[in-house]
Chain A
Amino acid sequence: MTGDDRWYEAAFVVGITNALNVVADGLAATLPPPAPASVDPEAAAVFADARAFYGLPAGDVPTPFAVLARDPGYLTDLWAAVKRAFEERRLTRRHKEALAFAVSLTTRSPFGTGFHLAQLRRLGVGERGLMEIVGVTQMFSSYTKIADTLQLTSDMADIAPVDTSGVPDAAMP
């Protein structure tokens, strides 16, 4: 798992997952999605693409995208970022879903935990694999709190190998 490019991919998955969870868990109840009949065509196109990406049945729209349909332009840009973050590149799609599931579980997001659990299963992760991620999440939720309580400083920071992979796709579109 050497190479900084993998870590950039992971960081983007973690960040955008948290962004989706914030809207789904914090906003959906007070700012419900617009009625399907009133959804703008631009937002409807995002819904269709998201359904294909996540393997969802017709009519099903993940909560954060449904809420954000109130601003189709914003939704379109956000979805492009989400899709880019979760596409299989240096990290596999199932690994990215595992990261998203672990972070959602850690941050106590009911939406994210359920959504990414379903995606892990859809991508073929079995009960053993699922419990592996639960175990890692739980163990490092323990280690981190022990470290914080004792205010430990990291002794791992200097042992990572130097990355020589360079910056891929440096040109901004």
Chain B
Amino acid sequence: MPTVRLRDASEYPEPARRLFELSRQWFAYDFKEPPAMSRVMAWDPQFGGPHGRAMKRAMAPGEFSRGEKEMVAAAVSGANACTY
């Protein structure tokens, strides 16, 4: 059970909801509600915005493909014993 009650997308102000559209485009998947981490990051757009941009910059195709990087991210999450 999460430590906080994650708000539904409709409870966020309009500027924060724009982050959810970016999230939907990033995952190319129609979630019933935006992913939990997207809603967490939207709680403080001044943190979530630059954090998300840094993530997208890191995950963008370069010397390694997006797919290769997603697998590295999964391995790092596993090493951090994170099930999310």
For residue A163, CB closer than 8 A to chain B, the reply is no
Which residues in window 98-122 of A have CB below 8 A to B? 98-99, 102-103, 106-107
A136/B37 in contact, CB under 8 A: no
Cβ-based interface call for A129 (8 A) = yes
Chain A interface mostly: helix
> Is B49 part of the binding interface, using a Cβ–Cβ cutoff of 8 Å?
no
Q: How far is the CB of A126 from chain B (nearest CB, A)?
A: 6
A155 touches B36 (CB 8 A): yes
Q: Which residues of B contact A14 (CB under 8 A)?
A: 75, 78-79
Q: Which residue of A lies closest to B83 (CB)?
A: A154
A1–B67 touching, CB < 8 Å:
yes
How near does chain A come to B73, taking the closest CB pair, in angstroms? 4
- Verify if A148 is at the interface (C-beta below 8 Å from B): yes
Question: Max chain A CB contacts within 10 Å: which of B68, B73, B76?
Answer: B76
Residue A140 at the B interface, CB < 8 A?
yes
A149 touches B3 (CB 8 A): yes
The 8 A CB mask of A41-54 against B (1 = contact, 0 = none) is 00000000000000
Chain B proximity mask over A137-149: 1 for CB below 8 Å, otherwise 0 = 1111111111111
Chain A CB within 8 A of B74 CB? yes
Nearest A residue to B41 via CB reads A146
A152 and B80 within 8 A (CB): no
Q: Point out the residue from B51, B55, B72 that lies within 8 Å of A99, measured CB to CB.
A: B72
Provide the residues of chain A in CB contact with B37, threshold 8 Å. 143, 146-147, 152
Q: Given A6-B71, A149-B3, are A106 and B64 also a contact pair (CB < 8 Å)?
A: no
A-chain residues with CB within 8 Å of residue B57 when the two chains form the complex = 135
Give the residues in chain A near B2, CB-CB below 8 Å: 150-153
Binding site for A on B (CB under 8 A): 1-4, 6, 27, 29, 31, 33, 35-37, 40, 51, 54-55, 57-59, 62-64, 67-80, 82-84
Between A and B, 15 residue pairs with Cβ closer than 8 Å are A1-B70, A1-B71, A14-B75, A91-B71, A99-B72, A129-B64, A136-B72, A137-B72, A143-B37, A143-B77, A144-B77, A144-B82, A149-B3, A151-B3, A155-B36
